[in-house]
Amino acid sequence: MQPPRLSLSDEASAARVILSGTWTLAAISPCYARLSGELAAQNRGVDVGWDLDAIEHLDSVGASMLWRAWGGGFPADVALPDELRVVFERIRAAGQDGPVVRGRGWLDWLAGMGGLAEAFWRNLLGVLALLGRLVLDAGHLLRHPGDTPWREISANLYKAGARALPVTSLVAFLIGVVLSYLSALQLNRFGADVYIVNLLGIGIIRELGPVLVAVLVAGRSGSAMTAQLGVMRVTEEIDALATMGVSRSLRLVFPKVLALAIAMPLITAWTSAMALIGGMVAAQIQVDISYGFFIETLPKVVPVANVWIGLAKGLVFGFLIALLACHFGLQVKPNTESLSSNTTRSVVTAITVVILADAVFAIATRSIGID
Amino acid sequence: MADSPIIEARGLGTCFGQKKWVLRGLDLVVERGEVVALVGGSGSGKTTLLRHINGLMRPSEGSVRLFGQPLFSGDRLADRALRRRFGMLFQQGALFSALTVFQNVAFPMRELRLLDEDLIRDLVHLKLAQVELKASDAELMPSELSGGMIKRVGLARALALEPELLLLDEPTAGLDPDRSEAFVKLIKQLHAELGLTVVLVTHDLDTLAALAAHVAVLAERRILAYGPLDEIMQIDHPFINGFFGAQRSRIALERGRAVP
Ligand SMILES: Nc1ncnc2c1ncn2[C@@H]1O[C@H](COP(=O)(O)OP(=O)(O)O)[C@@H](O)[C@H]1O
Ligand SMILES: [Mg+2]
């Protein structure tokens, strides 16, 4: 196999380019840059003749390079064996009309912002529509209780609820320890050690517990829900369900939202308890507050309203996380890129919305549960 | 180098799990320029054999040589160079769903890190034209394509690097008869124009008859018979009788009709 070669001969008046060797991708690869440079140089001459008789093999890569050097047409003077002409005819038939590549404009950032605003608006409408669907589903279930997807609800309760307990308790316990340790150091300076119970009780039950659970559950169960629905979109399973007359909102979205709305207050209670235990252990070690005193004082200094606020937050956060996760899951376009970006979006949006909702809670309940 | 067969499988065996032999003692030699149709019952290991040939799976025993070279030489660069010499069309197309048709076909070319974008654009349009797709289809996403178009884009991508060997897993399965006839014509034409070696898995007797290929019958975990279609049809074996039964009777029917 001869390497591709290009040589010049100008014995007579007209210059001729003589090509020889194997002009295939494999043979061209080692010397691509040199060859394309040499070909481009030939193009500057006015009327060069081309001699392709000595070419052994030509594939479409080699032919395309030559075609490009010829400026997209046969040169006037060319010696071309018939079997090679076929290859060029194929290129000619393919045409050269490429897709138009749009350049970047200096106002693109404005269009980008507009796009963001539009995406926000579209998602808001989408979530509202999904919410409406769920209300309709709930109405349907009231009239036809037999249609209730019990199995799905229970499966989701187990997956998003029970299976989340180990990780949330570990994280909560450790955070309780750290929080208690740091606060105890500060309170100790003022001789206000006993107030550690008030601080931890109100802080964890009312605020930290629900938000901590929401962040963990959004990352753990929210992403799983989005990915599951997204893959079902990619593999057309959702369409298959629809053709069987199974409502996707009733069978897929409703159980997830309901299960998480039920499970989250329970996980929240559990997590808050774990964090308090962590705090109690650290308080005993650090400032010598006995377990008995801690447990006895807690109900006295933390009004029970705080527990209800914490549980209500859990319910609302769970509902929001599942709703957003399902919304983004159903919006996945049938490709892998959209699947991954929507999963990210689902988690980030859920956490942001949870924190916004928490702020709303803080304002709405500012006069409740704090003496 | 020119003399060594394109594919040479010797004593190939595949074992899934403990004792489930899917292939055992399989020999297959494919010479340059042949079109070989691999037929066999469902679950007989056709896809598995193809996965050995394209190096996705290491056989449990025996070896495969492509173009006279071993598939798993241990040398990364040599292995990569070898894999660029064949193209594969997967049963489901296996297009990259996040990339457009154009980007799918351009992908292997860009992976070479050699050709410039202008040339790649020309080549992609050439490949698309070769598989009879319009230039306007280039910007579509795989999810916007019909079944037949997916197969053709997959074929264009398999042809991207000017392969010497083309592996097709059930290229016509799931296409309607018109489409599958057009696809077979396309493969036949590409074979004639480019001088490719083609190995295809098929269930479809029409495809088989139209390509007038060599046939390799995969049964009893090995290549039971290998040769031109006419010869294969003469063999008396339960699987071959069952598989070609309809075809035989139809040919007989056509002969009967041809006689005035
Ligand atoms: N990864 C795997 N693990 C276990 N068994 C497999 C695996 N892949 C294929 N098989 C089995 O090997 C046999 C052959 O499969 P395959 O090659 O896909 O058949 P086909 O001829 O229909 O393409 C089947 O019985 C299948 O169940
Ligand atoms: Mg198969």
User: Per the domain annotation, does B124 fall within a domain?
Assistant: yes
Number of domains in chain B: 1
User: Distance between CA atoms of A234 and B161, rounded to whole angstroms?
Assistant: 29
Tell me whether strands A16-23 and A49-58 are parallel, antiparallel or unpaired.
Answer: parallel
Q: Which two tokens stand for residue A74?
A: 């046969």
User: Distance between CA atoms of B191 and A292, rounded to whole angstroms?
Assistant: 86
Query: How far apart, in Å, do the first and last CA atoms of chain A sit?
Result: 92
Ordered per-residue pLDDT tens for chain A, 371 residues: 678 888 877 665 567 788 888 888 888 888 888 888 888 877 665 677 888 888 888 888 888 888 888 877 787 778 888 888 878 888 887 765 555 555 677 788 888 899 999 999 999 999 999 999 999 999 999 998 988 899 999 999 999 999 999 999 999 999 999 999 999 988 988 888 888 999 999 999 999 999 999 999 999 999 999 999 999 988 888 888 887 777 888 989 999 999 999 999 999 999 999 999 999 999 999 888 899 999 999 999 999 999 999 999 999 999 999 999 999 999 998 888 889 999 999 999 999 999 999 999 999 998 887 77
Q: H-type helices in chain A, by residue range?
A: 25-28, 32-42, 60-69, 82-94, 108-143, 150-156, 165-189, 196-202, 209-217, 223-234, 237-243, 248, 254-287, 291-301, 305-330, 336-364
Q: What is the DSSP string of A285-307?
A: HHH---HHHHHHHHHHHS-THHH
* Domains of chain A with bracketed CATH: 5-93 (3.30.750.24), 126-364 (no CATH)
Q: Which atom of ligand 1 is nearest to the CA of B169?
A: 23
Helices A305-330 and A254-287: angle between axes, nearest 10 degrees: 140
Helices B101-111 and B147-158: angle between axes, nearest 10 degrees: 20
Q: Dihedral of CA B118/B121/B127/B132: which sign?
A: negative
ipTM above 0.90, yes or no: no
Ordered per-residue pLDDT tens for chain B, 260 residues: 457 888 998 898 898 887 888 888 889 999 888 889 898 888 888 889 998 888 888 888 888 888 888 888 777 888 888 888 888 998 888 888 888 999 999 998 888 888 888 888 888 988 888 888 888 888 888 888 888 888 889 989 998 888 889 999 888 877 777 878 888 888 888 888 777 889 988 877 777 878 767 889 888 888 888 888 888 888 888 888 877 776 666 665 555 554 44
* pTM, 2 dp: 0.72
CA-closest residue to ligand 1 atom 4: B16
User: Per the domain annotation, does B76 fall within a domain?
Assistant: no
3-state secondary structure of A184: helix
> Quick one: pLDDT at residue A39?
81
User: Per the domain annotation, does B156 fall within a domain?
Assistant: yes
Tell me whether strands B86-89 and B165-169 are parallel, antiparallel or unpaired.
Answer: parallel
B122–A36 C-beta distance less than 8 A: no
Q: H-type helices in chain B, by residue range?
A: 46-53, 76-83, 101-111, 117-130, 147-158, 177-194, 205-211, 229-234, 238-258
The residue among B173, B248, B228 whose CA lies nearest residue B240 is B248
- Residues in B touching A336 (Cβ below 8 Å): 96-98
> Quick one: pLDDT at residue A108?
84
3-state secondary structure of B8: strand
Tell me whether strands B214-219 and B35-40 are parallel, antiparallel or unpaired.
Answer: parallel
User: Per the domain annotation, does B136 fall within a domain?
Assistant: yes
- Residues in B touching A91 (Cβ below 8 Å): 122, 126
User: Per the domain annotation, does B38 fall within a domain?
Assistant: no
Residues near A70 by beta carbon (within 8 Å), at least 6 away in sequence: A43, A50
The residue among A260, A230, A248, A235 whose CA lies nearest residue A155 is A260
User: Distance between CA atoms of A200 and A282, rounded to whole angstroms?
Assistant: 11
User: Per the domain annotation, does B191 fall within a domain?
Assistant: no
Find which of B99, B104, B116, B123 to mutate to test the A interface (most A CBs within 10 Å of its CB): B123
CA B236 to chain centre: 27
Tell me whether strands B69-70 and B165-169 are parallel, antiparallel or unpaired.
Answer: unpaired
- Residue pairs between chains A and B whose CB atoms are closer than 8 Å: 75
> What is the residue range of B108's domain?
94-162
Partner residue facing A60 (CB), from B118, B121, B162? B162
Find which of B110, B117, B122 to mutate to test the A interface (most A CBs within 10 Å of its CB): B122
Q: Say how many Å lie between the CA of residue B201 and the centre of ligand 2.
A: 8
Q: Which residues have CB under 6 Å of ligand 1? A: B 16, 22, 40, 42-48
3-state secondary structure of B23: strand
> Quick one: pLDDT at residue B1?
47
